[in-house]
Every structure is written in C-alpha cells, then in structure tokens.
C-alpha cells in the first residue's frame, strides 16, 4: 500500500506489503480491528473499554455474516431488535 494511505489506525499499518493473502477478507477485518484498537489505546482509553468495543464489533459481524465494509443500516436495526437490550442501550 502506498505511504499516502497509512493514516493512524489504518489497516495498512498492520498488513504486510507485497504479501498475497489466501483469504483477504478475514485478514483485512483483523487488520482493521487492530488498527482501530491501536488508535483507541493511543487516546489512552482503557484496555477493558477497547476490548469490549472489539467484542461488540465481532458479535455484529458474526450476526450479519458480512464483513464490516458491507454492513447496512437494516442489519443494525435487525441486530438491535434481536438483542433484548435495554432501551437506553439501543439509543
């Protein structure tokens, strides 16, 4: 990836240049989560908070069966309706 696309928290900082991935979607998903986690930790957010956010994203991905770059508002609505969460949590 070019240097111009290496922003803080970018998956490009985690992926190996020049490597051909056999399963690019899971690798990109993991790299994006790792970059996002680094960005949050650099803002001095607590490890439990960062980990809980990552678990939430992983749960949503498992629910939809779609990678995050394909998520839709309809999937968010279906997920929030199926969770049994408190009204304040959904808000």
**pLDDT (tens digit, 9 = 90+) per residue, 15-36?**
566 667 678 899 889 999 999 9
Alpha carbon distance 61, 53 (integer Å): 12
Q: Are the beta carbons of 90 and 78 closer than 8 angstroms?
A: no
4 pLDDT above the threshold of 60: no
pLDDT at 11: 57
The Cα 56–Cα 50 span in angstroms is 10
- Output the pTM of the full model: 0.71
pLDDT in tens, 31-50: 999 999 999 999 999 999 99
């Amino acid at each position: 990836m070019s240097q111009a696309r290496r922003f803080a928290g970018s998956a490009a900082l985690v992926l190996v240049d020049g490597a051909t991935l056999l399963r690019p979607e899971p690798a990109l998903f993991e790299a994006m989560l790792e970059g996002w986690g680094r960005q949050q930790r650099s803002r001095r957010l607590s490890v439990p908070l960062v980990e809980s956010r990552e678990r939430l994203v992983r749960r949503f991905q498992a629910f939809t069966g779609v990678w995050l770059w394909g998520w839709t508002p309809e999937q968010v609505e279906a997920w929030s309706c199926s969770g049994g969460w408190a009204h304040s949590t959904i808000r």
